[in-house]
């Protein structure tokens, strides 16, 4: 890795050889990135098989209302998490002190305290949310599901260390195991009780298993409570814009469910959630690869060999965009038939929703494949600004769509949001000399053609 130097001296300026210039270093990073990507794809693929299989089982045992209620619960829990996010785990991946015991234990202490506060917040919000959506069951669902915040708060920092080192084999095995066991529990409970509580308990089991495994199965030093002021200062400095960005990001990620649940009903929200889960299958692959492989790879490149960033970014984006374009094409051409085969008559509206959302998804991938570069460079203010821009666009397009064409307009507005937001990303990365029109223009052309097919078909 790179040799240590003071602020006035580095390998480039004094002519000395830096480890990052060696072919062995370049080969090592590439090998670890490829292995990490493969393990991430194995893990994600397995999880999605469980998820799709579970969806097919659960949609036959539970009504759309159950999925709508759970979508609302998850939306508000996600909101609480994002409203208190200081980017602790990304900071561990990014920081030069990312493997220092005091730094790690201080980060873990902050996360533990945060988890308890999140649960308290879920309990306090339960009554007003239940009244606002006129769903009394939310009064019980939110506090119980909120226990996942306490469990997740004490998850070991060994997870972040494994991510930092691109040692993803153990993480993948952990995720596959917890996904299978939680699905098994959920399916059995749904078969017995036919209630939304099956989804709640399955969620609790998944989080509990992941937390236990992070401490007892992953290798590394155990966490303990610590309060290191220098570590705390670094976490605060890195996380201050992430905190604001995450609050804004809540509305960007969840405003669709918040508005649909209020303007329409939980039945349509449940159907929308089914379509969204299918349209986001590949998006989640992109997010997994971005977060677990590319973000730590970019961070290491920026620390060691910043001149190689554009080339590595282009190679990674090309693969992810080709994968995304293939799935987008498949969903647009065969989305309705897919829904008809997989789900019963109660969920058939999800077919046209899937086709429209898939076009928007391609625009989202164009943006998200750029986004982790900003985080790897420590440009958290730029991340916050882009998140705010996207959120304002999304809320505006949802309300405009509803005004013009009711629920159909909302779905079209959501798809359009991603492409309008992409313009802001393109402008930002053009200023950084990292915009890649050679990849983006073909994707835009494909989206225009698919839009015409959906409109005229």
Task: Quick: pLDDT tens for 204-228.
Answer: 888 898 899 888 888 778 888 988 8
By mean pLDDT, which of 25-34, 40-49, 274-283, 369-378 is the weakest?
Answer: 25-34
What are the start-end ranges of the H helices in 347-436? 350-376, 380-431
Identify the residue whose tokens are 């505006």.
396
pLDDT tens for 51-93 read 667 777 887 787 778 878 887 887 777 776 666 556 677 777 7
Q: What is the mean pLDDT of the chain?
A: 80
* pLDDT of the residue at 243: 63
372: Cβ contacts below 8 Å, ≥ 6 apart: 290, 291, 294, 295, 298
Is residue 416 predicted with pLDDT exceeding 90? yes
* pLDDT of the residue at 405: 85
- Report whether 164 contacts 98 (CB < 8 A): yes
Is residue 425 predicted with pLDDT exceeding 90? yes
Average pLDDT over residues 132-141: 87
Planar angle of CA 319, 377, 43, nearest 5 degrees = 40
Confidence of residue 253 (pLDDT cuts 50, 70, 90): low
Predicted TM-score (pTM) of the model is 0.59
Average pLDDT over residues 368-382: 82
Burial of 56 (0-12, 13-18, 19+ CB in 10 A): exposed
d(CA 146, CA 79): 12
- Report whether 43 contacts 175 (CB < 8 A): yes
Burial of 167 (0-12, 13-18, 19+ CB in 10 A): middle
Confidence of residue 29 (pLDDT cuts 50, 70, 90): low
Confidence of residue 39 (pLDDT cuts 50, 70, 90): low
Is residue 26 predicted with pLDDT exceeding 60? no
Confidence of residue 359 (pLDDT cuts 50, 70, 90): very high
Is residue 8 predicted with pLDDT exceeding 50? no
Report helix, strand or coil for 356. helix
* pLDDT of the residue at 390: 87
Is residue 402 predicted with pLDDT exceeding 80? yes
Average pLDDT over residues 285-311: 78
Which residue would you say has higher pLDDT here, 98 or 235?
A: 235
6: Cβ contacts below 8 Å, ≥ 6 apart: none
* pLDDT of the residue at 242: 66
- Report whether 145 contacts 122 (CB < 8 A): yes
Dihedrals phi, psi of 264, to nearest 5 degrees? -110, -115
Average pLDDT over residues 126-146: 88
Average pLDDT over residues 35-44: 66
d(CA 175, CA 90): 19
- Report whether 258 contacts 395 (CB < 8 A): no
């Amino acid at each position: 890795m790179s040799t240590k130097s003071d602020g006035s001296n580095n390998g480039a300026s004094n002519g000395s050889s830096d480890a990052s210039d060696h072919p062995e270093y370049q080969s090592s990073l590439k090998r670890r990135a490829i292995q990490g990507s493969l393990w991430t794809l194995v893990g994600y693929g397995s999880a999605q098989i469980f998820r799709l299989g579970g969806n097919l089982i659960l949609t036959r045992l539970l009504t759309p209302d159950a999925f709508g209620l759970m979508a609302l619960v998850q939306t508000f829990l996600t909101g609480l998490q994002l409203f208190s996010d200081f980017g602790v785990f990304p900071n561990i991946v990014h920081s030069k002190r990312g493997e220092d015991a005091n730094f790690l234990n201080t980060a873990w202490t902050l996360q533990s305290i945060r988890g308890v506060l999140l649960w308290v917040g879920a309990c306090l919000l339960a009554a007003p949310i239940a009244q606002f959506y006129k769903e009394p069951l939310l009064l019980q669902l939110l506090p119980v599901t909120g226990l996942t915040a306490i469990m997740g708060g004490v998850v070991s920092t060994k997870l972040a260390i494994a991510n930092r080192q691109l040692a993803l084999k153990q993480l993948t095995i952990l995720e596959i195991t917890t996904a299978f066991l939680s699905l098994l529990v959920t399916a059995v409970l749904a078969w017995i009780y036919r209630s939304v509580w099956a989804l709640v308990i399955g969620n609790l089991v998944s989080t509990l298993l992941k937390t236990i495994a992070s401490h007892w199965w992953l290798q590394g030093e155990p966490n303990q409570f610590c309060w290191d002021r220098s570590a705390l200062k670094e976490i605060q400095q890195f996380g201050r814009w992430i905190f604001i960005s995450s609050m804004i990001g809540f509305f960007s990620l969840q405003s669709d469910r918040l508005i649909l649940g209020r303007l329409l009903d939980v039945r349509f929200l449940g159907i929308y959630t089914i379509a969204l889960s299918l349209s986001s299958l590949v998006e989640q692959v992109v997010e997994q690869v971005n977060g677990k492989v590319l973000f730590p790879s970019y961070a290491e490149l920026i620390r060691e060999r910043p001149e190689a960033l554009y080339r590595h970014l282009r190679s990674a984006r090309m693969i992810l965009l080709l994968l995304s374009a293939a799935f987008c094409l498949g969903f647009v051409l065969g989305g309705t038939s897919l829904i008809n085969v997989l789900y019963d008559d109660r969920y058939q509206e999800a077919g046209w929703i899937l086709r429209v959302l898939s076009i928007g998804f391609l625009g989202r991938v164009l943006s998200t494949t750029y986004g982790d570069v900003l985080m790897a460079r420590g440009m958290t203010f730029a991340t916050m600004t882009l998140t705010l821009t996207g959120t304002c666009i999304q809320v505006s397009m949802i309300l405009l769509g509803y005004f013009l064409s009711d629920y159909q307009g909302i779905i079209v507005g959501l798809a359009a949001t991603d492409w309008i937001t992409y313009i802001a990303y393109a402008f930002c990365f053009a200023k950084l000399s990292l915009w890649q029109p050679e990849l983006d223009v073909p994707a835009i052309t494909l989206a225009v053609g698919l839009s015409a097919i959906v409109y005229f078909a």
